[in-house]
Amino acid sequence: MKTGLAKLWAPNDSGRSMVLKYDQVLVWVTLLLMLSGMVMVYSASISLPDSPKYAAYSNNHFLIRQAIFITFSLIVGYGVFHIKIEHWQKYAPYFFVLTLILLVAVLVPGLGKGVNGAKRWLSLKMLNIQPSELMKLFIVMYAADYTVRKQQYMHRLSKGFMPMAMVVGLVGLLLLLEPDLGAFGVIVCIAMGILFLGGLNGIWFSGIVTLLVSIFSMVILLSPWRRERIFAYLNPWDEANSLGKAYQLSHSLIAFGRGEIVGVGLGGSVEKLHYLPEAHTDFLLAVIGEELGLIGVVVVVYLFYWLVKRAFDIGRQAIALDLTFAGLTAKGIGIWIGVQAFINMGVNLGLLPTKGLTLPLMSYGGSGVLINCVGLAILLRIDYESRALMRGGRAT
C-alpha cells in the first residue's frame, strides 16, 4: 500500500505519465511566503535586543522561534491535509462553539494575557494562543456549513441572514471587548462574503453592507482613541500626529521612501533600528519596502494576489462538482487571506488607519502562521478531492 506522500502519486486511467494529485504551485507559493517572511522577520528583529524591553533576548531569538513555528505549522498542515472535507463539515459547528468559548476565556481575569493594553491571548507557557485567529478559520467553515444547511432560506431575511448576523454580532462583541476591531472587520468580511456567494439577496446584501459601515463608523466616533487615530492617519506629517498617534505610520512611510525602486539591501534598514515599532509583526511590509524596494513589495503583493485567485478557482471548481461546502470554504479562505493581507498592506502604505493585523504567513507569530497554514492545507485538500472526483474516483 502507498503511504505518506506516495499516496499523492498515481497513474491515470489511460496509463499515461504519472500525474500529481495536488497543487504543487500552491504549496511552493505558501512555502515561499513563509520562508521569505522568516528571513524578513530576522532582519527586522535582529537589533531588538539593543533596547531595554528585549535586552534578555539574543539577536536570533525571533528567527529561531519563527523557524519553530513554521516547522510545527507544516507538520500540522500535513496532518490536516489528510482529513476529509466531509469531517470538517460535520464538526464545523462544534469547532465554532469551542472557539467562541476560548474568546470568552480570554476576557476572564487570570486566563487572558494582556499585551499593549489588549487581552487577546491565552498563555500555554510555550505558546500563546490567540482565539481570534482560530475564529477566522472556523467562521469560514461555520458560515459555509450554515449556507449549505439554509440554502432554501438564503433569499429570506428572517431565516437566512438574521441567525447568522446574530452569531457574528456575538463574536464581534467579544472581539470589541478585547479590543480587536481589526479581527472583527476580517470576520465580518468573511461571513458576509460567504453568505453573498451562497445566494444572499443582492439588494439586502447592499443594505446590510451600508448598515455595517455605519456601525463601524459609530464604533470609531464613540471611541476617543480610535477617533484620534483616524484624524492622525489623515494627516500623519503634522508634528503632534507624527510624534503621537501617527508615529508608526510616519516611520512606515519613511521606510518605503528610503527603499525607492530596488531598496537599500537586505539587512540595511534604518527604520527597524527602534524607530518603527512592531517592525517584525504589523509593519513587516515596511521593512520589506525599505530593504527590497518597490520590486520586493510588488512581488509580495503578486504572491498574495495569486494565492487569493487560486483559492477562488479551487472553490469554483468544487462548486461545479456539486461540492458546495468545500467550494464555499475555499472561497472563504481566499476572502480571509485576501482581506487580512489588504488591510495590513493598506495600513503600512497609509491607505487605511493603523490596525493591529499581521501580514498572513509572513509576520512573526505562532498562532497566525499555524492557522494560516491549516487554512491553506484545507484549501489544498479541497483541490485534491476535486481532482480525484474529476478522475472518476474518490479521495482517500
Q: 296-342, pLDDT tens digit by residue?
A: 999 999 999 999 999 999 999 999 999 999 999 999 999 999 999 99
pLDDT at 55 over 70: yes
Quick: pLDDT tens for 222-273: 777 667 777 777 778 877 778 778 888 999 999 999 999 999 999 999 999 9
Residue 6 DSSP symbol: G
Give me the pLDDT at residue 18, please: 36
Q: Work out the pLDDT band at 125, boundaries 50, 70, 90.
A: low
> Please, are residues 333 and 376 in contact by the beta-carbon 8 Å criterion?
yes
Question: Cβ–Cβ contacts within 10 Å for residue 48, how many?
Answer: 19
**Helical (H) or strand (E) element with 79:** helix 61-81
Domain boundaries, the chain: 32-82+232-396, 93-222
Give me the pLDDT at residue 374, please: 97
Q: Detail the DSSP E strand segments found in 72-206.
A: 112-115, 118-124, 127-129
For residues 67 and 339, what is the distance between their CA atoms, to the nearest angstrom? Answer: 25
> Please, are residues 335 and 190 in contact by the beta-carbon 8 Å criterion?
yes
Question: Cβ–Cβ contacts within 10 Å for residue 349, how many?
Answer: 16
